[in-house]
């Protein structure tokens, strides 16, 4: 796994090294990886997994050039460059969420109100006890740039929709948080409505598919490369079905995702190593 200004060197799911590099230039990082490989006596390299940053293309180019002179290079390094599957899933989902719906924003603002102070959280918890809400989850605020955190926020908040509706009826502070300002403009797009919560449930079902795939790709307790092809087919089938959804917004999101899916995995763009792994299983 490679990161800006640093990288991990892994072998069979074990971390061998963690190094700082002086800049983000591909050749600089490539030289640092080369030094680590030589230091650890690793000279059999089949693949290097990186995300889709453009600088990583230069890293792979440098390593191919260097390792081509090693007597142990495998398959002439033709299959060295492997793009991180979890990162591609992230890009696919982000393409679907780029025009995020107002319903998600409303729910995010409602959660932000509850999470903004201990006293508000206490009132929320007391209301949950009175209404006998059995969920053990608590509301959590997402990071807008991380779609998986948005999924977890919506999934948790959905269990407490009745409480948010009750706050609107009984809590003056909650009402004032969304009330019309002196210029007649609605603050924070207004509080979530029943329609917003219905949309949120659709988003949760939508995002859960890709959240599950991401967990499978990112697991560190078992080999994941052999499951790639199955998950790929699952994603393609799911997105295709969502493209035909009667929900216009869901359909639009799915079509944006399908375009990104085809960019990385359409046609014959699947890495041949993954195809071999699938055939061997």
Judge whether 35 lies within some domain.
Answer: yes
Judge whether 279 lies within some domain.
Answer: no
Q: What is the pTM of this model?
A: 0.68
Judge whether 274 lies within some domain.
Answer: no
Q: What is the dihedral of CA 52, 58, 63, 64, to 10 degrees?
A: 90
Mean pLDDT of the chain: 79
Judge whether 100 lies within some domain.
Answer: yes
At 258 the pLDDT is 92
At 15 the pLDDT is 62
The pLDDT tens digits for 42-78 are 777 777 777 777 778 888 888 888 887 776 766 677 7
46, 73: one domain: yes
Judge whether 142 lies within some domain.
Answer: yes
Q: In this structure, are residues 63 and 48 in contact, taking their beta carbons and an 8 Å threshold?
A: yes
203, 252: one domain: yes
200, 134: one domain: yes
| % of the chain residues with pLDDT over 70 | 80
**Does the structure show a pLDDT above 70 at 152?**
yes
Final residue belonging to a domain, choices 62, 83, 104: 83
16, 123: one domain: no
Show the domain range for 142.
93-265
What is the spatial distance between Cα 46 and Cα 57, in angstroms, rounded to a whole number?
A: 16
Judge whether 48 lies within some domain.
Answer: yes
115, 221: one domain: yes
**Does the structure show a pLDDT above 70 at 12?**
no
Between the two ends of the chain, the Cα-to-Cα distance in Å is 25
DSSP string computed for 126-179: HHHHHTT--------PPPTT-HHHHHHHHHHHHTTHHHHHHHHHH-HHHHHHHS
Report the 10 Å Cβ neighbour count for 228: 20
The pLDDT tens digits for 208-217 are 888 888 888 7
Q: In this structure, are residues 155 and 165 in contact, taking their beta carbons and an 8 Å threshold?
A: no
Say which residues have a Cβ less than 8 Å from residue 225's Cβ, sequence separation at least 6.
273, 274, 277
Final residue belonging to a domain, choices 33, 48, 83: 83
Judge whether 233 lies within some domain.
Answer: yes
146, 108: one domain: yes
239, 112: one domain: yes
Number of domains present in the structure of the chain: 2
- Lowest mean pLDDT: which of 7-11, 106-110, 139-143, 240-244? 7-11
| Region label for 186, one of left (φ > 0), alpha (ψ between -120 and 50) or beta (otherwise) | beta
103, 59: one domain: no
167, 236: one domain: yes
Judge whether 64 lies within some domain.
Answer: yes
The pLDDT tens digits for 118-144 are 999 999 988 888 888 877 778 999 987
The pLDDT tens digits for 235-251 are 889 999 989 988 888 88
110, 223: one domain: yes
The pLDDT tens digits for 171-189 are 888 888 887 555 555 567 7
Final residue belonging to a domain, choices 65, 83, 101: 83
11, 45: one domain: yes
pLDDT grade, residue 197 (50/70/90)? Answer: very high
Say which residues have a Cβ less than 8 Å from residue 154's Cβ, sequence separation at least 6.
104, 107, 200, 203, 204, 207
120, 62: one domain: no
């Amino acid at each position: 796994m490679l990161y800006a200004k640093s990288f991990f060197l892994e072998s069979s799911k074990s971390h061998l090294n963690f190094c700082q590099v002086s800049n983000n230039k591909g050749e600089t990082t490539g030289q640092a990886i080369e030094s680590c490989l030589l230091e650890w006596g690793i000279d059999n390299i089949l693949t290097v997994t990186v995300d889709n940053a453009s600088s990583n293309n230069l890293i792979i180019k440098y390593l191919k050039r260097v390792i081509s002179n090693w007597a142990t290079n495998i398959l002439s390094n033709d299959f060295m460059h492997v793009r991180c599957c979890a990162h591609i899933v992230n890009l696919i989902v982000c393409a679907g969420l780029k025009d995020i719906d107002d319903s998600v924003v409303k729910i995010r603002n409602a959660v932000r109100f509850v999470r903004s102070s201990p006293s508000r959280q206490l009132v929320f918890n007391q209301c949950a006890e009175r209404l006998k809400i059995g969920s053990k989850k608590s509301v959590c605020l997402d990071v807008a740039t991380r779609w998986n955190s948005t999924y977890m926020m919506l999934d948790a908040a959905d269990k407490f929709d009745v409480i948010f509706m009750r706050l609107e009826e009984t809590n003056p502070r909650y009402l004032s948080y969304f009330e019309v300002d002196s210029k007649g403009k609605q603050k924070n797009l207004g509080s979530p409505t029943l329609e917003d919560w219905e949309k949120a449930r659709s988003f949760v079902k939508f995002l859960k598919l890709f959240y599950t795939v991401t967990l499978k790709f990112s697991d560190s307790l078992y080999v994941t490369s052999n499951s790639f092809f199955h998950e790929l087919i699952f994603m393609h089938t799911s997105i295709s079905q969502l493209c035909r959804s009667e929900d216009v917004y869901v359909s639009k999101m799915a079509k944006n995702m399908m375009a990104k899916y085809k960019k990385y995995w359409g046609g014959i763009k699947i890495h041949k190593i993954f195809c071999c792994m699938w055939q061997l299983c």
